[in-house]
């Protein structure tokens, strides 16, 4: 049982981390609370289904196509809708929320409301310490690890990463230092949508696809980034694994745990925030502090 808990936590936490990092990046840099974030995850999952199952393309190619297509949709969304109202925070939230609904309804119209399943890329399982881990889960975990390291390298080692962090710290000063802020925001939006797409692609074979699949991770991602501290990438990763552990523990240990897992994860978030209002790794800015 302990092995089961560990493996499930790692896989689930990894997917949550992918989603939360993208969300956290775009919030930290652009101060845009993009509620359509998990919609990109859903789009990518449907993309895999379309390319691999309906069109019969090669799995690797369809993964690639699905990620690229979702990223492009994300960029288009940003340019057409978010960028124009970026100053009005509540309007941004509402527009992205409405966009999430638009995506969901389009999927409902195109694919219908019934459950679909995407093809598995690899089959079979591997026994580690007595737990059967399917290769799909193993692949998920591998992809998550690679992407996390990639993001860390991007943010801390490259010039673009330094520009992104500078913009996050102080947009105006970054602009004065010759950083093209709007390009940076655009890039970050692309990265965020791309990360959501990667998450969608890797979990698609392990889930049933349906147009409302964006809401359960939506709530969790909200909880994770709040717990970790808004805008903090490290916080998102830590928060993702903590909340995944709570979820898995509740499912394994409590009766009726499947209903209560979300409630317990959210309860943990509320408790952490009451003790530490800026989240685990969040920085409270002087002008934003109470």
134 strand-pairing partners = 125
Of 6 and 93, nearer to another protein (C-beta) is 93
d(CA 225, CA 29): 14
Stretch of residues binding another protein (CB under 8 A), selected from 56-64, 91-99, 118-126, 190-198:
91-99
- To another protein, the closest distance from the beta carbon of 218 in angstroms equals 8
For another protein, which residue of 3, 55, 91, 208 counts as binding (CB under 8 A)?
A: 91
Please work out the total of residues on this chain that contact another protein, with binding judged by CB under 8 A. Answer: 46
Neighbouring residues of 173: CB distance < 8 A, sequence distance ≥ 6: 166
CA distances from 160 to 49, 127, 128, 186, 224 (A): 33, 41, 40, 12, 26
Using CB under 8 A as the binding rule, whether residue 1 contacts another protein is answered as no
d(CA 265, CA 270): 9
Using CB under 8 A as the binding rule, whether residue 21 contacts another protein is answered as no
Of 185 and 222, nearer to another protein (C-beta) is 222
Of 162 and 270, nearer to another protein (C-beta) is 270
Question: Could you say which residues in the range 31-60 bind another protein, by CB under 8 A?
Answer: 33
For another protein, which residue of 69, 160, 249, 273 counts as binding (CB under 8 A)?
A: 273
215: left (phi over 0), alpha (psi -120 to 50) or beta: alpha
Residue located via tokens 């919609």: 39
Q: What number of helices (H) and strands (E) belong to the chain?
A: 11, 4
For residue 54, the number of C-alpha atoms closer than 13 Å in the C-beta half-sphere is: 10
- To another protein, the closest distance from the beta carbon of 170 in angstroms equals 18
d(CA 163, CA 232): 16
For another protein, which residue of 101, 131, 139, 160 counts as binding (CB under 8 A)?
A: 101
For another protein, which residue of 7, 73, 151, 222 counts as binding (CB under 8 A)?
A: 222
125 strand-pairing partners = 134
Using CB under 8 A as the binding rule, whether residue 18 contacts another protein is answered as no
Q: Which two tokens stand for residue 72?
A: 């492009």
Of 95 and 185, nearer to another protein (C-beta) is 95
Using CB under 8 A as the binding rule, whether residue 260 contacts another protein is answered as yes
Of 147 and 233, nearer to another protein (C-beta) is 233
Using CB under 8 A as the binding rule, whether residue 108 contacts another protein is answered as yes
For residue 239, the number of C-alpha atoms closer than 13 Å in the C-beta half-sphere is: 35
Nearest to 26 by CA among 156, 167, 149: 167
- To another protein, the closest distance from the beta carbon of 164 in angstroms equals 20
279: left (phi over 0), alpha (psi -120 to 50) or beta: left
Write out the residues near another protein by the rule CB under 8 A.
27, 33, 81, 84-85, 88, 90-91, 93-95, 97-99, 101-102, 104-106, 108-109, 215, 219, 222-223, 225-226, 230, 256, 259-264, 266-267, 269-270, 273-274, 277-279, 288, 290
């Amino acid at each position: 049982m302990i092995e089961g808990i560990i493996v499930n936590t790692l896989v689930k936490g990894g997917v949550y981390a992918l989603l939360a990092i993208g969300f956290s990046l775009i919030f930290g840099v652009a101060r845009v609370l993009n509620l359509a974030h998990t919609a990109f995850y859903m789009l990518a999952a449907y993309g895999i289904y379309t390319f691999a199952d309906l069109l019969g393309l090669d799995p690797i190619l369809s993964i690639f196509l699905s990620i690229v297509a979702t990223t492009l949709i994300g960029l288009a969304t940003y340019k057409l809708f978010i960028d124009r109202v970026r100053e009005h925070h509540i309007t941004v939230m509402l527009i992205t929320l409405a966009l999430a609904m638009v995506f969901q309804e389009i999927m409902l119209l195109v694919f219908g409301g019934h459950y679909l399943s995407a093809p598995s890329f690899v089959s079979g399982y591997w026994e580690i310490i007595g737990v059967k881990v399917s290769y799909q889960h193993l692949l998920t975990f591998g992809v998550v690890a690679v992407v996390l390291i990639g993001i860390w390298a991007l943010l801390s080692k490259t010039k673009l990463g330094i520009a992104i962090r500078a913009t996050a710290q102080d947009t105006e000063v970054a602009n004065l230092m010759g950083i093209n802020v709007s390009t940076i925001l655009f890039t970050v939006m692309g990265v965020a949508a791309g990360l959501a797409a990667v998450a969608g692609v890797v979990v698609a074979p392990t889930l049933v696809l349906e147009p409302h699949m964006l809401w359960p991770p939506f709530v969790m991602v909200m909880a994770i980034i709040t717990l970790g501290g808004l805008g903090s990438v490290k916080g998102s990763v830590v928060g993702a694994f903590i909340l995944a552990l709570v979820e898995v523990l509740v499912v394994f240990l409590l009766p009726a745990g499947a209903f209560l897992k979300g409630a317990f994860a959210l309860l943990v978030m509320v408790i952490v925030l009451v003790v530490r209002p800026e989240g685990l790794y969040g920085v409270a800015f002087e002008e934003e502090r109470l």
